[in-house]
Structure formats: C-alpha cells, structure tokens
C-alpha cells in the first residue's frame, strides 16, 4: 500500500474554503471547453450562411448541451460533512458515517445504505498505469480540521491558518482519500470526538441536467428520422 502526499495550497482568504475539496478533472474541463468552442464555430457559420441552416444550429446547441451534462457537470466534492457525487443527471450526497465501502476498479464507487453509487467524473481513464493502490495522506486536508482541532485541543482558527492540501485527480488517490476521510470520521465517532450523524444518503435528479440530456439526445435523433422520412 503506497501513501501519496497531497499537494499543498496557499491558505484561502476564508478558512472555510479550505474545508471543501472539489475533484473536477482538468482534462474533462478542457474537453468541454473545446466542445463549446466547436459548437460556437458551427453556430456562427450557420447564422451567417444564406439561407440560415436550422439543422446546423440545432446540432450545435445539442452538442453544447451534451458537453455540459456529460463532460463539464460531473465532479466529486468532499466537505467536512459528506461526500457528494455529481453525475450527469443524478447527485448523491453521502454523509461520511454512511460510507460503507469504497471501490476503485473501473471508477470511484461508494457503497451506502442506499446501494452503490459510481462517480462518472473519476473513471478508469484517470487510473495510474502502474496499478498501485494508493492510501492517501488525509492529515492535511482542510475538511478534517474540525476533527483535528478537537483531538489536539487547539482552536479551529489555529489549524485554519495552515495551508490546506488538494486532492489529486488520480482514481486510486481519490478513492484512497475517501477511505481515509471515512476512517477518520469512524475513529472520531468511536473516540467520542464527534457525535453520530443520523443524516441519510440523499439521491436527487437535477431537472435542468435531465432536460439538457434529453434535448441533446432527441434533437439529433429527430433530425435523423426526419432525413429518413424525406
């Protein structure tokens, strides 16, 4: 089991900002921006041609919508209270004490009392080719400052003044970090440092994301069927 050090960051202006870690892969963000730029180019060409190409406009808008839902939107958020998995349409918020098992075979997988939830954002494409299963060092994560302050008997402000650490985007490292934070909460609960959290796992569907996905898929399908019937 290899321990991977996290990357330190400068202390934020608001100490509470260091408590929240967002894993939003850079490659996905770049791909989404490139997709939007291409959609903008095709949209501009469609609007400047005579006659205006409604088909090109529809496809460009559909492609932009799919890029937002499938590429830009997915992410994983770690905060002091819970792990939040944002997928294309669904968002799952799991309190740390509800995390039963963490897997990383094909993607980040979290098992809770409501079943298994996979993270669209952190898949096998972000796996270290060495195949090493990392155990991340979570001691420097800002999201554990409250627990660490209680354990050490120091003020929260004293710990908040220290640099926070950022979670790497590698699949094994993210999974190792989630395991480490879960274990830290379990130990704190067993030692009486924190109280039991009765908050259940919440799964919700985002209406805007669902509408964008349906639109992005139905527009090309509708145009294809129309071309077949013409």
DSSP annotation of 163 reads P
Distances 1 to 7, 133, 140, 186 between C-alpha atoms, Å: 19, 6, 19, 21
Beta-carbon contacts of 10 under 8 Å, excluding residues fewer than 6 positions away, are: 163
pTM above 0.85, yes or no: no
pLDDT tens, residue by residue, 178-213: 998 999 889 888 888 888 888 999 999 999 999 999
What is the arithmetic mean of pLDDT over 64-92? 95
Taking the C-alpha atoms of residue 148 and residue 17, their distance in angstroms, rounded to an integer, is 17
pLDDT at 100 over 90: yes
Tens digits of residue pLDDT in 138-152: 766 777 878 877 777
**Mean pLDDT of all residues belonging to the chain:** 84
How open is the CA angle 200-203-205, to the nearest 5 degrees?
A: 155
pLDDT score of 101: 93
Cβ 214 vs Cβ 205: under 8 Å: no
């Amino acid at each position: 089991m290899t321990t991977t050090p996290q990357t330190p960051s400068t202390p934020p202006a608001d100490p509470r900002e260091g408590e929240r870690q967002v894993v939003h892969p850079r490659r996905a963000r770049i791909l989404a921006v490139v997709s939007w730029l291409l959609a903008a180019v095709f949209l501009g060409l469609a609007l400047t041609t005579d006659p205006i190409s409604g088909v090109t406009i529809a496809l460009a808008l559909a492609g932009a919508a799919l890029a937002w839902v499938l590429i830009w939107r997915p992410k994983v958020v770690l905060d002091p209270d819970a792990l939040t998995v944002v997928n294309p349409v669904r968002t799952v918020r799991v309190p740390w004490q509800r995390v039963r098992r963490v897997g990383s075979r094909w993607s980040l997988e979290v098992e809770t009392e409501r079943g298994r939830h996979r993270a669209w954002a952190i898949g096998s494409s972000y796996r270290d080719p060495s195949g090493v299963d990392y155990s991340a060092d979570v001691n420097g994560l800002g999201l554990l400052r409250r627990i660490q302050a209680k354990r050490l008997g120091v003020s929260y402000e004293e710990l908040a003044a220290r640099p926070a650490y950022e979670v790497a985007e590698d699949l094994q490292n993210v999974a190792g970090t989630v395991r480490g934070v879960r274990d830290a909460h379990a130990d704190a609960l067993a030692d009486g440092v924190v109280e039991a959290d009765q908050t259940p796992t919440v799964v919700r569907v985002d209406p805007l994301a669902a509408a964008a996905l349906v639109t992005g898929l139905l527009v090309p399908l509708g145009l294809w069927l129309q071309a077949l019937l013409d």
